[in-house]
Amino acid sequence: MDSIFYGISNIPNVVWSAVIASLLTFLGVLWTNKGNERRQAALLAHEEIRLKAEQKLSLKKDVFLALAGSFANVLGIIPNLMNLNVTGKDINEQIGDHSAIVARTYLSARESTVAEILKYSSAVAETYLSLLRPRDALLDHKRAIEIYQETIDQANEEKDRIISIMKEFNLQGRQEEAMFNYLNESYENQEKIIEESYASQNEQQGILKGLHREYCQRCISEHGRLLLLLPPVTIALRKELENDDDSQVFINAINESVQRMKLSFEQLLN
């Protein structure tokens, strides 16, 4: 043991300096590597968080843009309801899978945003349903007018047929008084049917014109009301997408657009 201590004590200082320097260099390298590892781990964690945030935002964009487009389609149905030639099939095609699109937003939106979506969806659905029943009444009048027109067309065809028979009898020189009386009476009956059908048709057209005007005004009013309800849900969605710089600008634009739309429709009706 004494010889060991003696050997160590006789090691030159230069050697000790080299050993200590090597040890310090090793510790420095070790410390640097651990620091690099910590920084790398922190960088990777930050990158993972960033990628997750970007993926989440991208998903929200897809979902919310689809929702905005679907709401636009559904709102567009209301002006189309004024056109009585638009069928239930046309309306259903325009609605598309709106309910499914709305439901998908529940998975990615905050609770406050979901509440605004539900509130607006309910308002749209209630308005849509409230407009269907009076539209059905208008369609009944429209169908009655069409039926009267079909009756008029059929009566005119029957008149042409009777005239054709009479001409044929004249060409053949047939002098059957009873047959000619029957044909004349049938012709007069068809004229009476046409006259009565025209009168009833005109009555239905007058009723339809007044009711349709009132219905158009109601559609315009309801469409404008729903547009004015848009800002809360739109602002909520913009916040979800981190795009809410100045909501008041959007609100002012909506209000101005609604007023211009109402004025245009009123001028059209007048």
The one-letter code for the residue type at 215 is Y
* Residues 231/251, Cβ–Cβ less than 8 Å: yes
Q: According to the model, what pLDDT value does residue 85 have?
A: 92
Burial 125-141 (b: 16+ CB within 10 A, else e): eebbeebeebbeebeeb
Q: How far apart are CA 76 and CA 74, in angstroms?
A: 5
Q: Is pLDDT of 44 > 80?
A: no
Q: Which of 52-61, 87-96, 188-197 has the lowest mean pLDDT?
A: 52-61
Q: What is the DSSP letter of 176?
A: -
Q: Is the pLDDT of residue 145 over 90?
A: yes
Closest among 100, 186, 197 to 151, alpha carbons compared:
197
Taking Cα atoms as reference points, which of 91, 94, 113 lies closest to residue 102?
113
pTM score, whole prediction: 0.69
And the tokens for 175?
A: 């002098």
pLDDT at 42 over 90: no
